[in-house]
Structure 1
Amino acid sequence: MEKENEDFKILTDYILSINLWGDFNSDLDLTDFDLIEDWAIQLINLGCENEALYNLATFYKPINPDEIMPYLKRTFLELNLKEKEGDDAEICYARYHFNRVIKGEDVKSNLFRAAIFSDGNDRKSHPETELNFGVLSEIWLDMKYDPDYWYRGINISNIEQKVIEKAKWWLKNNPIN
Structure 2
Amino acid sequence: MGEVCSPWLSVTWRVCNLFMCLFFALATYVQINDPDAGVWMVGYGLPAVLCACVGLKPHVTETLPWRRLADLHVMVSSAVVATLGWRLYREGLTDILQQEEGREFSGLMLTAAWLLLCRHSGRAPVGGLRVSTAVAITVFPFVAWLYFYINKELTSNWPSHCQTAI
TM-score, shorter chain, exceeding 0.5: no
Give the structure, 1 or 2, with the largest relative contact order (CA under 8 Å, sep 6 or more). 2
Larger helix percent:
2
Alignment TM class, shorter chain as reference = under 0.3
